[in-house]
């Protein structure tokens, strides 16, 4: 599927993470279980720190009178997109990355494409339900080194839910760019629907490894070089990261 004939060449690429840059299995089978196993020890050790205490208080405001760890485990079971949960998970993952117990996964085509797009002057940004802190940790701990200098912005659920058009309008306003110049990449059709409402260009990543099903409502690509071909971005050939 090609981009609409009237589409502008994107000046900004806004990308999702899970199922787009990174395998869903990495998040589901590595990051989430790591955070769950470490949760109670983390709260006991660091619950008095201001940043941690702030998120604990946010949980208590949302679920008054309930045990914080129990609430957090319940949200984990539901894969709830709740800001205090995402913030605490990010802090736990930070410990794991710092200790060398975690290393981020990226599909082999992603890093060469990101570097090529950045060199060409395309601004790169991330929008994920994971906290901004967790996003930065992921991109800082890739097998190809620290990728965070490639990015101009990171956005999470603090701008709004990913299936609401207003969230994407806020991102465009924050970037001071017309929505039509921004290309949003995601594997989730409903997120792409919302981004389209804001006027952004969209492409669905349909990665066989993740079992993604094409929606038929948006341009679709199997990898980032195909995205480059569809939208006129600098292309790269996929290669295996070392």
Give the integer Cα–Cα distance in Å for 22 and 26. Answer: 7
Position 236 confidence tier, pLDDT thresholds 50, 70, 90: low
Alpha-carbon dihedral sign for residues 23, 27, 28, 29: positive
In order of start, what are the domains of the chain with their CATH numbers?
Answer: 12-22+104-231 (3.40.50.1000), 26-98 (1.10.720)
Q: Are 161 and 195 in contact (CB under 8 A)?
A: no
Mean pLDDT, the chain, rounded, equals 93
Residue 72 in tokens = 């957090």
In the predicted model, is pLDDT for residue 8 greater than 90?
no
pLDDT at residue 2 is higher than 80: no
240 pLDDT more than 50 = no
pLDDT for 43-91, tens place per residue? 999 999 999 999 999 999 999 999 999 999 999 999 998 989 999 999 9
CA separation for the pair 75, 69 (Å, rounded): 10
**pLDDT tens-place string over residues 104-136:** 999 999 999 999 999 999 999 999 998 898 899
- Per-residue model confidence (pLDDT) at position 239: 40
pLDDT of residue 241: 33
Q: What's the number of CA atoms in the CB half-sphere (13 Å) around residue 113?
A: 23
Residue 7 has pLDDT above 90, yes or no: no
d(CA 84, CA 55): 5
How much is the pLDDT for 167?
A: 98
Mean local confidence (pLDDT), 147-173: 97
Which candidate, 115, 114, 160, 102, places its Cα nearest to that of 17?
114
Q: What band does 40 get if pLDDT is binned at 50, 70 and 90?
A: very high
């Amino acid at each position: 599927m090609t981009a609409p004939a009237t589409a502008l060449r994107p000046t900004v690429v806004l990308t999702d993470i899970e199922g787009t840059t990174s395998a869903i299995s990495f998040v589901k089978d590595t990051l989430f279980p790591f955070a769950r196993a470490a949760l109670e020890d983390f709260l006991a050790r660091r619950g008095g720190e201001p940043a941690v205490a702030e998120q604990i208080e946010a949980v208590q405001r949302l679920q008054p009178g309930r045990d914080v760890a129990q609430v957090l485990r319940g949200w984990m079971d539901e894969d709830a997109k709740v800001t205090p949960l995402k913030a605490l998970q990010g802090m736990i993952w930070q410990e794991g990355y710092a200790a060398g117990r975690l290393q981020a996964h990226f599909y082999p085509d992603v890093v060469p494409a990101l570097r090529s797009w950045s060199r060409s002057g395309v601004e790169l940004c991330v929008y994920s339900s994971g906290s901004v802190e967790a996003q930065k940790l992921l991109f800082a701990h890739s097998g190809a080194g620290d990728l965070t200098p490639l990015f101009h912005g990171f956005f999470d659920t603090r701008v709004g839910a990913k299936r609401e058009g207003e969230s994407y309008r806020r991102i465009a306003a924050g970037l001071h760019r017309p929505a039509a110049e921004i290309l949003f990449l995601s594997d989730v059709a409903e997120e792409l629907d919302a981004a389209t409402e804001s006027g952004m260009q969209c492409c669905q990543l349909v990665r066989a490894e993740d079992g993604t099903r094409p929606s038929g409502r948006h341009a679709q690509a199997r990898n980032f070089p195909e995205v480059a071909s569809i939208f006129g971005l600098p292309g790269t050939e996929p290669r295996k990261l070392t």
